[in-house]
């Protein structure tokens, strides 16, 4: 419904919804939008432990990464509400279900077509250390299942293999820790770089509108009433 509104209608609806928000939330939304990015995105392939998937979503939200792509194979995506702490409602989640014919290839080829460099986070023989990962084009960080890591299909489609250098015997982090370390390094580097990592004005407004609807109590019902009154609901 919201995506069919033109820019003027979006702006009018945001102004209307703002009266239902506390001043602190109204101030915080543009501040958060200024730090949001789609230059960096995360792909989760077949993650089966709810607490891990939830922790990754929470890290994405905290570090300002807007889009998360979730590939479901044997395991369904089931975030743990106690761990995710509401972070998922501020993110844009893209789900690919193998049972519906949406495979790893579907997801990664779509990202590559949008200009993303596909980066497999893996202890591959050709893996480069995280600090050497170039940021001259958008990056899609791919994380695999806890049991086996990324699939062979994901390895075959990847443009680069990247690892976090370690000094201990174990030589592996939990997936949620790995994701947090990658996001901390890359978002810090992005924000001090000349690369166009921020959202466009149009993206900010569209995202702000969706956040306003979610932040307002009974926001969907209030929005529908407003659009109906303005004659902006699509015809059925």
Q: What is the DSSP letter of 116?
A: P
- Give domain limits for the chain: 36-201
So what's the pLDDT on residue 138? 98
Across 72-86, 111-125, 196-210, least confident range: 72-86
How would you class 23 by CB atoms within 10 Å of its CB: exposed for 0-12, middle for 13-18, buried for 19 or more? exposed
DSSP-assigned letters across all residues of 130-156:
GGG---SS-EEEEE-BTTTBS-HHHHH
So what's the pLDDT on residue 83? 65
- The better pLDDT of the pair 213, 75 is held by 213
Query: For the residues 135-157, what does the mean pLDDT come to?
Result: 92
Residues 92, 88: Cα–Cα separation, whole Å:
8
So what's the pLDDT on residue 47? 86
Residue from 182, 216, 206, 209 nearest 65 by CA: 182
Per-residue model confidence as pLDDT tens digits over 170-212: 777 888 999 999 999 999 999 999 999 999 999 999 999 999 9
Query: For the residues 51-58, what does the mean pLDDT come to?
Result: 89
Q: Model-level pTM?
A: 0.92
Size of the chain, expressed as the number of residues it contains: 236
Q: Apex CA 41: angle with CA 163 and CA 63, to 5°?
A: 85
pLDDT at 143 over 60: yes
So what's the pLDDT on residue 82? 59
Query: For the residues 76-82, what does the mean pLDDT come to?
Result: 68
For 36-201, which CATH superfamily applies?
A: SPOUT methyltransferase, trefoil knot domain (3.40.1280.10)
Token look-up 């009974």 returns 218
Q: What is the mean pLDDT of the chain?
A: 90
Q: What is the DSSP letter of 168?
A: S
pLDDT at 236 over 60: no
Residue from 118, 74, 114 nearest 97 by CA: 74
Provide the 3-class DSSP secondary structure of residue 59. helix
Query: For the residues 162-177, what does the mean pLDDT come to?
Result: 85
- The better pLDDT of the pair 58, 173 is held by 58
pLDDT at 233 over 80: no
Question: pLDDT confidence of 109, banded at 50, 70, 90?
Answer: very high
- The better pLDDT of the pair 47, 162 is held by 162
Residues 4, 2: Cα–Cα separation, whole Å:
5
pLDDT at 234 over 80: no
So what's the pLDDT on residue 1? 67
Query: For the residues 212-225, what does the mean pLDDT come to?
Result: 93
């Amino acid at each position: 419904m919201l995506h069919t509104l033109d820019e003027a209608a979006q702006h009018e609806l945001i102004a209307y919804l703002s009266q239902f928000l506390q001043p602190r939330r109204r101030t915080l939304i543009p501040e958060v939008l200024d730090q949001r990015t789609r230059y960096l995105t995360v792909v989760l392939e077949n993650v089966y432990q709810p607490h891990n998937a939830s922790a990754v979503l929470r890290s994405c939200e905290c570090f300002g990464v807007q889009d998360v792509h979730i590939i479901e194979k044997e395991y369904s995506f089931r975030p743990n509400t106690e761990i995710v702490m509401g972070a998922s409602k501020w993110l844009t989640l893209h789900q690919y279900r193998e049972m519906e014919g949406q495979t790893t290839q579907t997801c990664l080829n779509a990202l590559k077509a949008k200009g993303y460099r596909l980066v497999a986070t893996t202890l591959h023989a050709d893996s480069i250390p995280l600090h050497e990962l170039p940021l001259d084009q958008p990056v899609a960080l791919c994380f695999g299942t806890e049991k086996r890591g990324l699939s062979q299909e994901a390895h075959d489609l990847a443009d680069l293999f990247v690892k976090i250098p370690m000094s201990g015997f174990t030589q592996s982090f939990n997936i949620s820790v790995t994701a947090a370390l990658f996001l901390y390094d890359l978002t810090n580097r992005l924000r001090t770089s000349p690369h166009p990592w921020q959202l466009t004005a149009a993206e900010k407004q569209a995202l702000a509108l969706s956040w306003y609807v979610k932040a307002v109590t009974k926001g969907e019902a209030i929005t529908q009433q407003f659009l109906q009154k303005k004659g902006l609901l699509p015809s059925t």
